[in-house]
Amino acid sequence: MENRRGQGFLLGLTGGVGAGKSTVLSYLEEAYGFHVIQTDLTARRLMEPGMEGFQTAVRLFGADILDASGAICRPVLAERMFREPEKRRQSDAAIHPLVWKAVREEAAAFRNGPVVIETAVPGKEFRDSCREIWYLYTSEEIRAARLRESRGYSAEKIRDIMASQADEETFAGQADERLDNSGSPEQTRKQIDRLLAERGIPLKAAKQQQKQRNGSDSGWPER
C-alpha cells in the first residue's frame, strides 16, 4: 500500500509526441526520486538481437530491416511499419504483451519507492498497471514547434505522426489528472508539486533531510 514516502505509488504519464513528457519525467526523477520506466525504451530492448521482439520483427518485415551488424535499423523498421499497417498491427499484437510483462517486472523491482511509467499509447495494460494516470496536455501548435526545433521534422511528418497517435479525448478519457504543459516549465512544476503534495510524496531534498535527522535508511533506491 502507498505510504507517505511514495512506497508502492505507481504513476502513469501519457501524452502526445512533443508534449514534453521527457522534461516531466526528469523532474519526477530528480526532484522526487521516481524510478522512470519508458515503454518505448523497454520495447527497444526487446528488439535487440536474440530477443523475442527481434525475431518477430524479422519474421514480419524481412531481413532487409537489419543493418550491417545484424541489429535492427530503427529508421528502416519505422518506415516499413508506416507503409505496412497490417504488419505493424501484427507486430504490436505480438510485442505489446512482452513489453508490459517487462514493465510490470521492473516496476515491482522498484516498489520500495515511487515509480512512473510513461507511454504514448494508453490502453488497458497501462490502466491496469498504474495506480493513477496523468495526461500531459500541450497545444498542437506548441508541440509542432518543439518538434521542428528539436528534431527537425517537416510539417508533413509532424501531421502524420500526430494523426497516428491517440487524440486528446482518448488521452483525457484514460487519465485521472490533466497537466497543462503549454506554459512555462515553472508552471508545470507547480502543478506536479501540488498533485504530489496532495498524495503525501515529498521532494527528494526533504526526504534526504529527514533521512539525515533519523540516521536511518528510508527504503528509497539510490539515484
d(CA 199, CA 32): 12
Residue 23 burial class via C-beta count within 10 angstroms: exposed 0-12, middle 13-18, buried 19 and up:
middle
- 8 carries a ligand binding annotation: no
- 211 carries a ligand binding annotation: no
C-alpha of 155 from chain center = 24
- 43 carries a ligand binding annotation: no
Does the CA dihedral 57-59-60-61 come out positive or negative? positive
d(CA 183, CA 35): 26
- 184 carries a ligand binding annotation: no
Strands laid side by side in the 115-119 sheet: 35-38, 115-119, 10-14, 132-137, 177-180
Helix (H, G, I), strand (E, B) or coil at 200: coil
Does the CA dihedral 91-97-100-101 come out positive or negative? negative
d(CA 119, CA 91): 17
- 78 carries a ligand binding annotation: no
- 182 carries a ligand binding annotation: no
Binding-site residues for ATP, please? 18-23
Residue positions forming the annotated binding site: 18-23
